[in-house]
Every structure is written in structure tokens, then in C-alpha cells.
Structure 1
């Protein structure tokens, strides 16, 4: 029997189109702001890293918030991360970024306009037949108002995928501050704004990616209802549900 989701979480036509186009090299995602003649084009898909999620519980959130750093520095409890309500099989998964480009000029200077169109965690290679917004463990679909888009927020325009069971250890490097400024951290550099932290005692990872102001989390469901893809969109990519 084919899976039937909750219509209140289902992606609308605009969001569905974007989620499919963002990971299609050559696809046009729109045009450059104030220049309708220059398209924004998906230039390629990059495998950023692999991530270990031994607990099957996934955090999709900012790796830190400013108030968390202040509390951490004072030894006070910090807020729990935004853990997804959905569970995935414990395992190792690819994290991929879809890059887009829309060249423009700024005060006479040419800019390539390269940006992250979307980031995804690939749970399986099974075909996605429908998309829905991913709720956090503390979020209730019955409390959603028309047009609401549950999402995470980020003070520093950075998001992450992380194993929820090892969150305290994995997030610790991002919460250390010196004189109110984030301290240098010993992480694996993957790309611009992208890092990986590993907890070998639990064989778990955290991988960061760019997320302007935060992002909406989308679940790509198979015909049977299994989650095959978890995608984060930000900015204009947070298309209407």
C-alpha cells in the first residue's frame, strides 16, 4: 500500500519543484536579483563528507547559538538541539551540497554569485515520490497554522547534521568563546563554512554547512513511506509549503 502523509506537512508545488531542481545540474532556479536576464543555474553536486549516525536520531540545527555560548562559558545548561521526530536506520550517510551560480556586479565589481542551493543527507537511493516538512521531537503538527514552516534558526548562518546521541560532545567545540568571540576549534575543515567533528568513543559525527539565518528541513519519502532524503533549504530556497 502506498504511503499517504499528512497534508499539513506536504510540500506544495513551488517547494516540490525547487527540491527536485536544486539537485539537477543545469537546472534554472530563477534569475539574479534585479537582473531578470541572468539565470541562477545549478552548477553541480558535491559530496561534502560522510556522517556516522549510530543512534538513528538526527539533529538538524545550528551547531551553536550566541546565548548557548554564554551559558556554556558560565557552566549553565544549554537548550537541547532541534532533533528530528523521524528516525533513520543507524548507519553512515553521504552529505551533499548543490551549488548554484548567478553572476552579478556589485559597485562595479564582478561576482560569480556561487551559493549553496540546498544541502542533503542521503539515507537511501530509493526514488522519492513526495516531500514533507520535517518536524522536531517537540513540535506538534496540530499546532501548525496555515503557512507555517517549522525550521531551525542560526545566528551565524551555519547549520549542521549530527548524531543526537553524541550531541553534547560533538557541539562542544562550537560553544567555546574567549572574550565573547568564538575560540579557534580543532575540527576537520571540509569546505567554506563546512566542518566535521567526530566522537570516536561513540563513532558519531557532526557536519556543518552554510544556512543563511537557518533553514527548513524537508523529508523525501519513498512510495512505502520510508525517508530516502533529508534536505535543508535556506533563504529563497525555503519555498512555500
Structure 2
């Protein structure tokens, strides 16, 4: 039986087109701001690293929020992270970044305009037949209003994928501040300023990526409804109401 999605969560044609094009090298994703003659082109897909998700429960959120750090330092409760309502098969998955280039000039200087178009967690190689917004466990589909785009927010323009079952240990390196300044973290440094945290006891990981002000989570579904990809975008046309 083929999958039929919830129309309240479905990506509209513009958003679906963006999500497909973002991971197609050579595809055009609009034009440079204030210069409709210069295209923004997908230059390549980079495999950043892999992530272990033994619980099958996935957090897609900022690795820390400013108010969380305040509470954490004072021994006060911190709110739970934004865990996705859907579950994935426990396993090890690649994390990929789609890069674009849109050259422009600023104050007489040439800039290459390299930016991250989207970040993807690859669950399977099955073709995606439809995209829908990825809700958190606290989100309620029945309360969605036309034009709503549930998302996570980030004070530091950083997002992460993480195993929800090991969240407390994985997020701990991001919650230590001294006089308001974070000391060097005990994390593995990846390309482009990204980081990975490994929890040996639970065989689980957290991987950070750039996410300007946070991001919207999209689920790529196969014809049977299984999840083939989880994609995070910061700026993107909205979902169909």
C-alpha cells in the first residue's frame, strides 16, 4: 500500500522543488539577493561524518540555548530538546551538507557567496516521493494553522542531530561556561566548524551543523512511507497549508 501523507504537513511545490534541487549538483536555487541575473548554484554535496543513533529516537535542535545554560549552571531543570515525533531504525547514518555558490561584490570586493543550502541525514537510498514537515513530540498537528512552519531556534546559529536516548551526556560539553565565556569543548572538530560528541557508554553521537537562527525539519518519505532522509533548512519556501 502506497504512503499517503497528511496534507497539513506536506511541502508545497516550491518547497518540494527546493528540497530536491538542494542535493542535485549543478541545480539552481534562485538568484543572488538584489541581482536576478546571477544564479545561486549547488556546487557539491559533502559527507561531513557519520552519526550513531542506537535508540532510533532523534533530536534535531540547537545543542544549547542561552536560557538552558543559565539553568544548567544553577542546577535548575532544563527543558527537553526538540525530539522528532517519528522514529528511525537504530543505526549509523551519514550526515551530508549541500553547498551553493552565488558570487557577488561587496564594497568593491568579489565574494564567492559559498553557503550551506541544507543539511541531510541519510536514512536509506530509497527514492523520496514526498516531503513533509518533521514535527516534534510536543507538536500537535491539529493545532497547526495555515502557513505554520514548526521549527527549532538557535541563539548561536548552530543545529545538531543527536541520539535522544543519550542527550544529557551528548549535550553536556555545550553547557559549561566560565564568566559567560565557553571554554574549549571536549568535542571532535569536523570540517567547516562542525563538531561531534561521542558517548562511549551508549555508543551514541551528536553532530552539529550551521543553522542560521535555527531551522525547519523535513522528512523525505518513500512510496511505502518509510523515511529515506531528514533534511534541515534555514531559509526555504513554506509548507502547504
Answer yes or no: same fold by TM over 0.5.
yes
Distance 2:109 2:205 in 1: 39
1:101 aligns with 2:101: yes
Counterpart Cα distance in 1 of 2:43 and 2:35: 19
1:106 Cα deviation from its structure 2 partner: 1.4
- Look up the match of 1:194: 194
2:72 counterpart SS class: helix
Choose 135-144 or 67-76, whichever is displaced more: 67-76
| Separation in structure 2 between the aligned mates of residue 196 and residue 209 of structure 1, nearest angstrom | 10
Task: Measure how far apart 1:183 and its partner are.
Answer: 2.1
Instruction: Quote the residue 1:217 is aligned against.
Output: 217
- The 1-side partners of 2:144 and 2:64 are apart by 26
Please give the secondary structure, in 1, of the residue aligned with 2:75.
Answer: coil
Matches within 5 A, 1:77-156: 77-156=77-156
Which residue is equivalent to 1:240?
Answer: 238
Distance 1:157 1:104 in 2: 23
Return the alpha-carbon distance in structure 2 between the equivalents of residues 123 and 139 of structure 1. Answer: 23
Q: CA deviation at 1:105?
A: 1.3
Could you tell me whether the CA contact under 8 Å between 1:161 and 1:207 is conserved in 2? Answer: yes
Equivalent residue of 1:181, what SS? coil
3-state SS in 2 of match to 1:152: strand
Measured after TM superposition, the shift of residue 57 of structure 1 is 0.0
Any gaps of 5 or more consecutive residues in structure 1?
A: none
Report deviation, 1:193.
Answer: 2.9
| SS of structure 1 residue aligned to 2:190 | strand
RMSD, matched Cα:
0.7
Q: TM-score, normalised by structure 2?
A: 0.98
Residues 162-201 of structure 1: pairs in structure 2 closer than 5 A? 162-201=162-201
Deviation at 1:146, TM superposition (A): 0.4
User: Residue 73 of structure 1: CA displacement?
Assistant: 1.1
Distance 1:163 1:11 in 2: 26
* Contact map agreement 1:132 1:218 (CA 8 A) in 2: yes
Instruction: Extract unaligned runs of 5+ from structure 2.
Output: none
- CA contact 1:158–1:193 (8 Å) conserved in 2: no
Runs in 1 of length 4+ with deviation above 3 angstroms?
none
What's the secondary structure of 1:196's corresponding residue? strand
TM norm structure 1 = 0.98
Q: Offset of 1:121 from its aligned partner?
A: 0.2
